[in-house]
Structure 1
Amino acid sequence: MANWSDLEFDDIAEWPIHPQLAVILLMVLFIQGFGYWFYLIPEEQRLNSLIQEEQALKVALRVKANKVAALPQLQSQLDELTTRYKMLLQQLPVQKELATMLASVNELGIDNKLTFTSIEWGEKQSEHFLYRLPLNIELTGDFHDIGRFSQAIATLPRIITFTDVTWQRVSQESEILHFRVKANTYQFKPEEAKVEK
């Protein structure tokens, strides 16, 4: 057995085999520890970071794949909404049609044996992306004739709604009703051009 105190590091090549093996083993362990601490640990941390990034990318890819898969259905819904929107726009009168519309309402009243006391446009009111155009109507006639008139208004190609409806008998003994209603139609409000400063 060699005495470790007699061994000098400069003469390591002449040491007995067991001390040489021990020093080599210590050096290997030192190099491995050094490599593990300064190379493998940072690489392991980098690997874990890349795994987390991969998981996040997989989730993002799954979300995007689902969006792409839903795109044809969304496009179909958008096309349907666009078609409905265009149909609704066609039901809103433009400014030049208002006189014709008023004449149509008047004609429907006459066709249903009603007598107009007054029929006139109210003041245009702004509502979100539309203008509301009130049409104040007062007329007299039989209950059933007024009902047929209201039904005929609903079949016009332009949208007209009734609000604030009131009626009363012209007199206690009369079957004739005085009918007052605020009808509304709507106009599309064109988008205002943005003024550049």
Structure 2
Amino acid sequence: MAAKQTTSSLSRLSLPAKMVFGLILMAVVAALYFVVFFTDVDGQIGQAIAREQQLKGDLQKAEEAKVAYNKDVELRAEKQRVEREQKKVLPDEAETPSFLSSMQGIASISGVTLAQYKPEDEVAEDYYVRVPMSLELSGRFHQIARFFYGVGQLDRVINIEDIEMTVVPNQKKDDATSDVILNVKCLATAFRAKRADDATKGKKQ
């Protein structure tokens, strides 16, 4: 009955009134659609913004982690480099063959004759172990000085101690300016890192 009355009421409206009513109805439907659609889009935009912020935060954390990682890699590489340099100066082992090879190489470059060498007993100190080697060499004074200088330029610390110099007897001089030949006995002492079993070995009293 109500539907018939509504239809009857609409039929009694003039054409302009019907057009106005239709426009109002369309506006209401459009408004409802806009509200529903906009609410959904606004929610999606909000989620997208939140996701973007999260991704930016994750990216920043990743960049910070990358910087920290690169810093750790650099520090580790620097630490390893320092350890390698320290092992050159104070190796873990006596490395007697390398020690002797260094002495022979410097003697050859300096022009001296390394006549004799003898590894001596190691001596444990508080923080390191002495690795001594007795040397006997001969040459002119400037050659001997060059040999000592060359030893001082090595990466590994080697001390030259207990130096004894004597003139080689019965030398033949070609002229008055010829240098005399010296015979040198000395103790070349290298060092190595101390181990637990070196606590009392050969320690000086």
Normalization by structure 1: what TM-score? 0.50
Q: Which has the higher contact order (CA 8 A, sep 6+)?
A: 2
